[in-house]
Amino acid sequence: MTTARWFTASAVLLAVCLGALALFAQHSSPTRASAVRHAVQPTQARSLATTYYVNSAHGSDSSSGTTEATAWKTLANVDSHVFAPGDHIEFARGGTWTGQLHPLGSGLPGDPIVIGAYGSGARPRFVYSRSSIPNGEIGAAIFLLNQGYWTIHHVAAYAPAAASNFGTLAQPGQARYGIFVADNGGGTISGITISDNSVSGVGGCFNCSDVDSHLNGGIIVEAVRRNDSFHDVDISHNRVTDVARSGIVVWDQSYYTTSIVQVVASQLSTGVIIEHNSLSMIAGDGIIVFGTAGAVVDGNTVRDAAQRTIIGSTEAASVGIMTTRAIGSVIEHNRVSGTLTQFTDGEGYDVDLGSTDTVVEYNYSQDNEGGFLLFVGGFSSGLVVRDNTSVNDAYSGLKGVFSFDTSATSVSIYDNTVKIPRGSPARLIFCQNCAPAAYNVWSFFDNVIDGSGHGVSVLPPGTTMTTTPGGPIAYSAGDPGKA
């Protein structure tokens, strides 16, 4: 999907490239997120940095802003100031600012610029509430453009809109964002941390006039142009609820060079961690990683994704957690429940087009209408699915607990536990558009199937089913190594 966007906001760019991604790939490791973090020494003395204070109740824009007693009041001073590495921008708890927080400047390794909170009470609230977005403006409560080494934490972001902004087939809406970090011509942007924030009430569009609809919603990090990418993005411990369309997205459009069906490793964003976030009531997809190498999606909870759609849309369906156009993604220790089908998809987990060497392990999936896992073949290969638990997934009977769309290449599914309630129409396996050769390149073994649903599996052509003592079910095409 082609994404094009022009930003007119001015920003100071400092694009600093770090070294190679360090990815710890041992299957026995309980978590991998810590393995892709980098220990970086400060490059500038912290004493040169300044802490600025902003208080919506008691501040004054004519003050210096450098002490609590001389705090600024509005976003005007903040958005016009070029901050230096190591600076902190602290907002008074209990305060509310309407408009857009778009500070300028970039940090350095070990000296990020920090947006945070001081005092006691509720998180500082940033509300983008324009009913109509002026041409050239981005509809985000908090916005960074081509800026590296920033930490955003302890704040709350809202971007409400009229119900009609969701869009229809005939009338698209305009994109809305809680927190939006964009790389549009900035090269490699490094050191983005978004942690311990609350993002809610984002009235984004499902059919949008200005973006691919996946790219608006709660927390969005997007690299737009051919030579743009991110390095070291940590999105953790955030609460995202009641947003449209997407919950949390890291998206690098530059994943290819000449062919959109060939993912090029050197083009991908690296060091991406999405962990321990809580998401609920998401109109579309919960979490998406697109155009990444070695991304880790770990310990997140996604409840009630894919709650809305536009009938007849070309992108009508959504899932809980998805990786696509990616190499080496690890999806582990997550819990996804309550995802709806919306005509198709509706799985808890989706390893989609262009995914290579993906591991899905130690996850829990329950009551996802479309099933536990969707694997889209095409130019995807190398999927390991192990030690996961699925309870009452695929309950509509439309697809399977495990679904394949087009021929699946080099797939190993083992040591998983599937619980299908008595009388459920759930299919265990559903293979859609699978070529006759598919059975030579996939395996399903040592899985425990607990239940007595009556759904009929659709298997790859040439595949047979056997039941072994004790309940585990194996599928084989006559190759003992596959049974």
Question: 3-state SS of 376-430?
Answer: ECCCCEEEEEECCEEECCCCCCCCEEEEEECCCCCEEEECCEEEECCCCCCEEEE
State the pLDDT confidence band at 462, using cuts at 50, 70 and 90. Answer: low
**What residue type is 423 in one-letter code?**
G
Which range has the worst mean pLDDT, 201-215, 302-316, 447-461?
A: 447-461
Query: How much is the pLDDT for 22?
Result: 35
Q: Is residue 222 pLDDT above 80, yes or no? A: yes
Q: Are residues 344 and 254 in the same domain?
A: yes
Closest C-alpha among 336, 343, 337, 377 to residue 358: 377
Query: What pLDDT does 27 receive?
Result: 38
Query: Does residue 160 have a pLDDT over 80?
Result: yes
DSSP 173: B
Domain assignment present for 325? yes
Same domain, 363 and 339: yes
2-11, 74-83, 239-248, 328-337: range with lowest mean pLDDT:
2-11
Q: What is the pLDDT of residue 136?
A: 83
Q: What domain range is 91 assigned to?
A: 47-120
Peptide bond before residue 245 is cis, with ω within 30 degrees of 0:
yes
3-class SS shares of the chain: helix, strand, coil, % to 5: 5, 40, 50
CA–chain centroid gap for 435, Å, is 31
Closest residue by Cα to residue 340 from 378, 376, 302:
302
- Does position 333 have pLDDT exceeding 70, yes or no? yes
What are the φ and ψ backbone dihedral angles of 243, each rounded to 5 degrees?
Answer: -130, 155
| Residue 383 belongs to some domain of the structure | yes
Report residue 48's pLDDT band, with 50, 70 and 90 as the boundaries. Answer: confident
Where residue 135 falls among pLDDT bands split at 50, 70, 90? confident
Average pLDDT, integer, range 261-266: 91
Q: How far apart are CA 332 and CA 386, in angstroms?
A: 10
Rounded Cα–Cα distance for residues 223 and 214 (Å): 14
Of the residues 393, 409, 441, the one at which a domain ends: 393
Using a pLDDT cut of 90, give the percent of the chain over it: 70
26 has a pLDDT exceeding 70: no
pLDDT tens track for 79-107: 999 999 999 999 999 999 999 999 999 99
Cα 456 to chain center, whole Å?
A: 33
Q: Do 349 and 272 belong together in one domain?
A: yes
* Whole-number pLDDT of residue 47: 52
**Mean local confidence (pLDDT), 120-146:** 94
Of 120, 148, 176, which residue constitutes the final position of a domain? 120
Phi, psi of 233 (to 5 degrees): -120, 120
- Tell me the mean pLDDT in the region 312-335: 94
DSSP designation for 357: E
Whole-number pLDDT of residue 31: 59
Residues 109 and 139 in one domain: no
Question: Maximum CA pair distance of the chain?
Answer: 79
Same domain, 113 and 139: no
Predicted local confidence at residue 468, as pLDDT: 44
Per-residue pLDDT for 454 more than 90? no
Shared domain check, 253 and 152: yes
Within a domain: 144: yes
Contact partners, residue 11, CB within 8 Å, separation at least 6? 104, 144, 145, 146, 147
CA 243 to chain centre: 13
In a domain, 452, yes or no: no
Q: Report the candidate in 182, 191, 185 with the shortest Cα–Cα distance to residue 211.
A: 182
* Distance between CA atoms of residues 127 and 97, nearest Å: 6
Residue with tokens 């998206």: 251
What are the structure tokens assigned to 13, written together? 């760019």
- On the question of pLDDT at 35 being above 60, the answer is no
Q: Into how many domains does the chain fold?
A: 2
Torsion angles phi and psi, residue 157, rounded to 5: -125, 135
Bond preceding residue 325 cis, omega within 30 of 0:
no
Whether residues 372 and 287 fall in one domain = yes
Exposure string for 376-391, b = 16+ CB within 10 A, e = fewer: bbbbbbbbbbbebbbb
Which residue would you say has higher pLDDT here, 175 or 404?
A: 175
Minimum mean pLDDT range among 14-23, 311-320, 368-377, 408-417:
14-23
Q: What is the mean pLDDT of the chain?
A: 86
Give the per-residue pLDDT at 479: 32
Report the pLDDT value the prediction gives residue 313, as an integer from 0 to 100: 84
**Tokens encoding 358:** 């993906």
Please tell me the least confidently modeled range out of 251-260, 278-287, 313-322, 401-410.
401-410
Categorize the per-residue pLDDT at 127 as very low, low, confident or very high, splitting at 50, 70 and 90. Answer: very high
Q: What is the dihedral of CA 2, 256, 347, 481, to 10 degrees?
A: 160
- The answer to whether residues 228 and 103 belong to one domain is no
SS (H, E, C) 254-291: CCCCCCCCCCCHHHCEEEEEEECCEEEEECCCCEEEEC
Is position 58 within any domain?
Answer: yes
pLDDT band at 343; cut points 50, 70, 90? confident
Q: What is the pTM of this model?
A: 0.88
Residue 437's nearest CA partner among 404, 467, 403, 402 is 404
CA gap 52, 86 in Å, rounded: 11
Q: 127 or 25, which is more confident?
A: 127
Task: Please provide residue 213's backbone torsions phi and psi, each rounded to the nearest 5 degrees.
Answer: -65, -25
Last residue of a domain, one of 393, 428, 444: 393
Same domain, 224 and 192: yes
Does residue 443 form part of some domain? Answer: no
CB 148 within 8 Å of CB 107: yes
pLDDT value of residue 467: 45
DSSP annotation of 123: P
Give percent of the chain with pLDDT exceeding 70.
83
Q: Is residue 380 part of a domain?
A: yes
104/150 Cα distance (integer angstroms): 10
319, 123, 282, 134: which is closest to 203 by C-alpha?
282
HEC profile for 22-68? CCCCCCCCCCCHHHHCCCCCCCCCHHHCCEEEECCCCCCCCCCCCCH
Closest residue by Cα to residue 56 from 76, 80, 83: 76
Rounded mean pLDDT of 150-175? 96
**Average pLDDT in the 369-388 region?**
92
Residues 338 and 289 in one domain: yes
**Same domain assignment for residues 275 and 367:** yes
Tokens of 243: 């947003």
The verdict on residue 435 lying in a domain is no
Least confident stretch, 15-19, 434-438, 460-464 = 15-19
Of the candidate ranges 29-43, 247-261, 449-463, the one whose mean pLDDT is the lowest = 29-43
Q: Give yes or no for a contact between 238 and 213, defined as CB atoms under 8 angstroms apart.
A: no
With cut-offs at 50, 70 and 90, classify the pLDDT of residue 131: confident
Same domain, 180 and 271: yes
